[in-house]
Every structure is written in structure tokens, then in C-alpha cells.
Amino acid sequence: MDRIRIVGGNPLHGTIPISGAKNAALPLMIASLLTDDTLTLDNVPHLADVEQLIRILGNHGVDYSVNGRRERQQGGHGRTIHFTARSIVDTTAPYELVSKMRASFWVIGPLLARCHEARVSLPGGCAIGTRPVDLFIDGLRALGANIEIESGYAVASAKGGLVGARYAFPKVSVGATHVLMMAATLAKGETVLENAAREPEVVNLADCLNAMGAKISGAGTATIRIEGVDALHGARVQVIPDRIETGTFAMAVAMTGGEVVLEGARADLLENALDILRGTGTEITPLNHGIKVYRNGAGISPVDVTTEPFPGFPTDLQAQFMGLMTMAKGTSHITETIFENRFMHVQELARLGAKISLNGQTAVVEGVAKLKGAPVMATDLRASVSLVIAGLAAEGETVVNRVYHLDRGFERLEEKLGACGAVVERISG
């Protein structure tokens, strides 16, 4: 099993290319199920989750071809992948595939819309909370689907097709917004989604669906309207740059000091997080081609933060920010409101010398003057990269185990950091 070895203490200097967003690429790939034409996606990152979803889509009969890099090679440009679901050969998404990645459950929406039936295993993914699928099921039922849970599967049918309806999400859910928006594109009549997620990835998906012939308005606001159409066609769409990767590398620079240009990053996709990072004493400058991040080595100021749906501070940056706050000059409070079990990195950061106590949903972080390297273990995707950030500033050697979590969401992490002066390497086996 691969590990990542880090020798801390080096500031970062250089340029890091930002990859396409995993959280945008996955729903865009799933949208290919909605048409028998080819959907072409540019700037697709090379990630384990992308490869897993390709296998899941292939199980349904989706053919694909790839232009560009197939392996983790130097260069900041993602791949172009063509997806063609000429015919759906199987409407079942089996447990052995879906259990490995939560987002694969989202195929239930397009399969219901196009084939009027689906049998999808209940999902797996990172162990950061229950993350139930009740919002998906309730929303699809509102569109006329009949759904029963049988032996660990959601068995859904919609004889005659889905029908437009008004549905208000009881809580904001990015995944459920993706699914209902895709399903509603082929429903009869108008669907109105209230309290919808406003994340940039939702907008990217809506733009894709509109390019395919859908009629969607309001994406990026709390109310999305979808006028159903009879059929969708092919399109070519670009995956937006990864705002979570952008924030992660920005926090790495804030942790170590130095100056790095995040090439291809878009400041408008994470303004709240960048403003909070500025509060730590880090300089953030938007550029025409990305974002420049600079910290001159002065102390890190403590900042309190609460995770919120977009446009608030992303839960997917909470662990990384906690890593940064471990060396702040003072005490910070980090409150997690999205997932109930997303503090699993606390005990691993403590192995590096961090002082963190938990009080319900809030972590109290007392900054220390220095961290010391140690062997640590990744518990989920974002927690694993928080350990990397801390290791970059820790004295001595840090070895992060179980880095397959990292490979799910970060493309060529050690290469990108190494090119900017970090002492970091992947150890195989």
C-alpha cells in the first residue's frame, strides 16, 4: 500500500497547475446517461474516483474514449473524454461498484429519466458521517417515481416517465440537487427545486445540461427551474477548475511560507475561503491566469471558521484549515455543520504535536510553536491532505499511510508540491 513521505521545513515557491474539479467531473460524467449522443468533457482530472465512475458507467453500457494524458505525467492540462450511452444495457448499479464511491448512487436520476427504471445499491464512500439518501428518494418520489428499498438497493420505477413538480429540499444537498436536476430535464412539465444547492459544481452541471438541450434557469441560486424536454443531445463542456484543490494548495503555502501561483484557479469559486485565509496573514492576489498566494514567514494569525453550504466556507476545506491553525499564534475555533463525523483527522494531527480539543461540533485548536514529524494514517480524502499540509511544516519526517484516499481527489499531489521545493515522495508497497 502506497505511502507519502514528507520532510518538512521548506517554503514553497513556483507554479502549481490546478486540475479539473472532481466534484464537477463526476456529475458531468453521469449526465452522459441522459442522451444517446456523445458528451465530450474537457479538463477531466486523472483520479481514482473518475476511473471508478468510468467502470460504473461502462456497466450501464456507456462507451468512452480518452484524448490526452492517461497516466500521471507532468503538465497541468486534464484529459478530454468522450462518453456515449448509445443504449442502456443494464439499469442496475451493483453493490460491488457503488459501495466504493458514494457519488455513483447519482446514476439513479438519469436512469429513471431515460429508462423509467433503476436498481441502484445504497452508496459507500468516505466514512465521514451517515449522509443518508433520503433527500434523493423523497425528491424523485415527488417527480412521480415509485421507490422501495429492497435488500440494500433502491428499486425505482416511473411508468410513463417522470412528471415535473415543486420540491423544497429540507436541507441543502449538493448531491440531491445534481440528481433531481438531471432527472427533471426529461420529466413532463416544469420542475421547481427550492432550497437548492448553489455550489459552482451545480452551475457547471446546469450549463452542461443546457448545452445538451435542457431548459434550466436559476442555477447558482436557491431556486432552480427546469422545463422538461423530450430528449437531450450531445455537447462539449469544460470541467471547472477544482476550488478545493485551489484552497488546499493555498493553505499549504500559508503553512510553509513562500510564494506560489495557482495556475488556472478561479478566485470567484471560493471567495469566502480566500477571505478567511487572508485573515491568517496570507496575501491572496487574483491574476488573469490564476491566483498568487504569498506569506513572508511571519506568524499565522488564528481565525474562527464555521463550515456552511456555498457561498460559505466549504466543509471540504475544514480539515486543511485545521492543519493550518495547528501552528497559529493563538486559539481558533472550527465548527463543522455539514457532516457529523468529520473530525477524524484530529487524533492524527495530535500525533504531530497539535493541541486540539473537541466540544461537540466545534474543534478548539491551540496553536503550537512547532510540529514534529511522525507516522500518521489517512482516514478520508480531505483528512489525508490535512496531514500532508501539517507535515510540510513539521520538523523531521512525516509518513502518511493509506494514501489511496488522496488518489481519489488529488491529481499528482506529490509532484505538484515537489516542483515547488517540498521534500515529498511516494513510497510504493
Sequence ranges of the binding site for UDP-N-acetyl-alpha-D-glucosamine: 102, 131-135, 171-174, 316, 338
CB atoms within 10 A of CB 201: 26
174 and 201 Cβ atoms separated by less than 8 Å: yes
76: cell is: 497541468
d(CA 376, CA 364): 21
Length of the chain: 429
Q: What is the DSSP string of 197-257?
A: ---HHHHHHHHHHHHTT-EEE-BTBSEEEEE--S----EEEEPPB-HHHHHHHHHHHHHH-
407 phi-psi bin (left φ>0, alpha ψ -120 to 50, beta other): alpha
**Across-strand partners of 285?**
292
DSSP code for 179: H
CB atoms within 10 A of CB 64: 17
> Residues with Cβ < 8 Å from 96, sequence gap 6 or more?
none
Q: What is the DSSP string of 7-48?
A: E--PPEEEEEEPPBPHHHHHHHHHGGGG-SSEEEEEEE---H
Catalytic residue among 115, 126, 208, 420: 126
* Nearest alpha-carbon partner for 262 in 297, 294, 221: 294
Q: 3-class SS at 429?
A: coil
d(CA 46, CA 62): 19
Residue 126 annotated to the active site: yes
d(CA 199, CA 220): 6
> Residues with Cβ < 8 Å from 90, sequence gap 6 or more?
59, 60, 61
User: Cis bond leading into 27, ω under 30°?
Assistant: no
d(CA 203, CA 219): 5
DSSP code for 297: S
DSSP code for 59: H
Query: Residues annotated in the binding site, as ranges?
Result: 22-23, 102, 131-135, 171-174, 316, 338
Q: Cell 497516466 maps to which residue? A: 71
Query: Residues annotated in the binding site for phosphoenolpyruvate, as ranges?
Result: 22-23
Instruction: Write out the catalytic residue numbers.
Output: 126
